Every structure is written in structure tokens, then in C-alpha cells.
Amino acid sequence: MQEADVDYYSVLGVSASATQEEVRRAYKVQSLKTHPDRVPVTDPSRPERTRKFQQVQEAYYTLSDSARRRDYDASKTFNPPRGSSHWQDDQFGDIFEEMMRDEGLQGAADPNARQAGKGRFMA
């Protein structure tokens, strides 16, 4: 359905409170700006334009329907974009680091830092 880190409102250049008419107008503008047929077939920017145009299409498809838009907004609230601070990282990060250390997996990039894992997670 949608790419993990794509914000459909940003793709169309509208705010989350945009009206249906604003979404429709933004779609028209963005689709004309990104349409791959507006450049020659040999143009090196064509694959990128195609990708952006597809994102514009997906964004409009989602935001133009009230039920799909409601579901999209709910999923953004439940699954915030990656790169933001998550309470889970703060809460569980130390636990996983401790488990990795106990299993000899911490510092796995340095072969000298590895240990033979003998804990309950290793077979």
C-alpha cells in the first residue's frame, strides 16, 4: 500500500488539515510537476520523476477518500515515522544491549571482541 516513510501530506504539499478541494488542487499541481511524460524518454531524471509521480498518485488516492484518509491518519498516529524518538527505544534499549553482551554478540563488528555464546539464546 504505502511506503514506510512517505508522508502523503508532504508529497502533495498540503497540511494535515487540508480540505478535499485543497488536496485535489495540490494533486493537480504535483502531478503536472512530476509526470514522467513531460520529459524526453532519454532524460536521466525520468526514473526519479516516475517514482515521484507514483507517490503523488498514491497520496491522492489515499487522501481523496475520507475513509482511506482516516485510516492513514490513524496509522500515522499509531506508527510514527522512523527516526523520531520512541519511548520503546529508551525503555528496552538497555535490556537488549545486556542480552547481546551476555550472548557474546556485542561488538560483533570486531572479531576480537566476540565471545563464544553460551547463554540461553544460543543453541
Give me the tens of pLDDT residue by residue for the chain, a chain 123 residues long.
445 578 999 999 999 999 999 999 999 999 999 999 999 999 999 999 999 999 999 999 999 999 999 999 998 876 655 554 444 455 555 555 665 555 555 555 555 544 544 445 444
Tell me yes or no: is domain 8-78 CATH 1.10.287.110. Answer: yes
CATH 1.10.287.110 residue ranges for the chain: 8-78
pLDDT at 111: 54
**DSSP alpha helices (H): ranges in 3-122?**
8-12, 20-34, 46-63, 66-78, 87-102
pLDDT at 7: 93
Q: How far apart are CA 40 and CA 34, in angstroms?
A: 13
Q: How far apart are CA 112 and CA 95, in angstroms?
A: 23
φ, ψ of residue 32 to 5 degrees: the values are -70, -35
Sign of the Cα torsion 56, 59, 61, 66 reads: negative
Q: How far apart are CA 66 and CA 52, in angstroms?
A: 23
pLDDT at 85: 47
Q: For the CA atoms of the chain, what is the radius of gyration?
A: 22
pLDDT at 43: 93
pLDDT at 1: 44
Q: How far apart are CA 85 and CA 104, in angstroms?
A: 28
pLDDT at 80: 56
pLDDT at 23: 96
Q: Which residues make Cβ contacts (< 8 Å) with residue 84, sequence separation at least 6?
A: none
